[in-house]
Amino acid sequence: MEFDKNSTLKLAKLARLSLNDEQLDSLEKDLTSIVSFIDQLKEINTEKIDPTSNSLNQDLILRDDIAENKLSNEDLLRNVPDSELGFFVVPKVIE
In whole angstroms, give the CA distance from residue 45 to residue 38. Answer: 15
In whole angstroms, give the CA distance from residue 33 to residue 2. Answer: 8
Number of residues this chain uses to bind another protein (CB under 8 A): 39
Does 56 participate in binding another protein (rule CB under 8 A)? yes
* In the complex, least distance from residue 39 CB atom to another protein, rounded to whole angstroms: 16
Does 60 participate in binding another protein (rule CB under 8 A)? yes
In whole angstroms, give the CA distance from residue 11 to residue 27. Answer: 11
Judged by the rule CB under 8 A, the positions of this chain that interact with another protein are 10, 13-16, 53-54, 56, 58-73, 76-77, 82, 84-95
